A = this chain, B = another copy of it.
């Protein structure tokens, strides 16, 4: 009988991204790995799900004992469809990534990588999203290997607090100095669009922008430590209720 952990892996860059293959390789030392990822890139898809269209699953060749499936939907769709149609039991851990690009700070809310991670958490699965601050499809994941491996190993051993998942980010182009468990930096995106005009003179817009970190210089946040070549782990609670503000809102409304 097989009692190795069952590890489900997804991402938002799609099944062909190098980051997911690297993550699957690391994970396979800890258990049986099944990959179920979007068939096309799904960056910026947040927790979007497909309401008004059907979803299909396609089987890809196994590589080194790792099973690969692609799904014609968003990262959250991948988690939901995998639970319905691919996995024969609830996985022991869900891993998402390794994303090509930062999901630190406010990016958590837009990230498909973290959408899938939070979906796993809502389903009661210990779930971790991994990201590298390098958008390139040629990004070098090698310097992260030991850190990713350690985090998976510890979460498999200890689990995570109820209703909490992890948003893990790594600096680009270096071996991290270490890993810090911190809160997300407060901030927003600015100067968000490049302006164009069609050949007929009609304006159109393409998303770009600059992240504005609203924190004081020495704040103990993910952006602070990433800038100093540390990996960061932010504990994430999918439930966005601000329980500490219920009385303030009562005072305004009642």
Which A residues have a C-beta under 8 Å from some C-beta of B? 41, 43-57, 74, 76-77, 80-81, 83-85, 106, 108-110, 115, 118, 122-124, 150-151, 154-155, 158, 160-161, 163-164, 166, 179, 181-184, 186, 188-189, 192-193, 196, 202-207, 233-243, 245-246, 248-250, 252-254
**CB-nearest residue of chain B to A178:** B254
Question: Which B residues are in CB contact (< 8 Å) with A196?
Answer: 54
Complex-state Cα separation, A81 to B206, whole angstroms = 9
> Are A85 and B193 interface neighbours, CB within 8 A?
yes
Minimum CB–CB distance for A58 against chain B, Å: 9
> Are B186 and A239 interface neighbours, CB within 8 A?
yes
Question: Which B residues are in CB contact (< 8 Å) with A81?
Answer: 193, 205
Complex-state Cα separation, A108 to B181, whole angstroms = 26
> Are B245 and A161 interface neighbours, CB within 8 A?
yes
> Are A237 and B242 interface neighbours, CB within 8 A?
yes
Minimum CB–CB distance for A42 against chain B, Å: 9
10 interchain residue pairs of minimum CB distance: A46-B46, A46-B47, A237-B242, A48-B48, A235-B245, A235-B242, A44-B51, A54-B204, A183-B241, A46-B48
Question: Which B residues are in CB contact (< 8 Å) with A56?
Answer: 202-205
Question: Which B residues are in CB contact (< 8 Å) with A245?
Answer: 161, 164, 235, 237
Minimum CB–CB distance for A114 against chain B, Å: 8
> Are A55 and B181 interface neighbours, CB within 8 A?
no
Complex-state Cα separation, A238 to B158, whole angstroms = 28
> Are B253 and A181 interface neighbours, CB within 8 A?
yes
Do A163 and B186 form a contact, CB below 8 Å, given A47-B46, A47-B47, A236-B240? yes
Minimum CB–CB distance for A218 against chain B, Å: 17
Complex-state Cα separation, A44 to B80, whole angstroms = 14
> Are B233 and A253 interface neighbours, CB within 8 A?
yes
Complex-state Cα separation, A43 to B74, whole angstroms = 14
Minimum CB–CB distance for A57 against chain B, Å: 7
Question: Which B residues are in CB contact (< 8 Å) with A254?
Answer: 181
Minimum CB–CB distance for A146 against chain B, Å: 13
> Are A57 and B109 interface neighbours, CB within 8 A?
no
> Are B46 and A181 interface neighbours, CB within 8 A?
no
Do A160 and B252 form a contact, CB below 8 Å, given A54-B205, A81-B193? yes
Question: Which B residues are in CB contact (< 8 Å) with A52?
Answer: 41, 43
> Are A48 and B44 interface neighbours, CB within 8 A?
yes
Complex-state Cα separation, A106 to B160, whole angstroms = 20
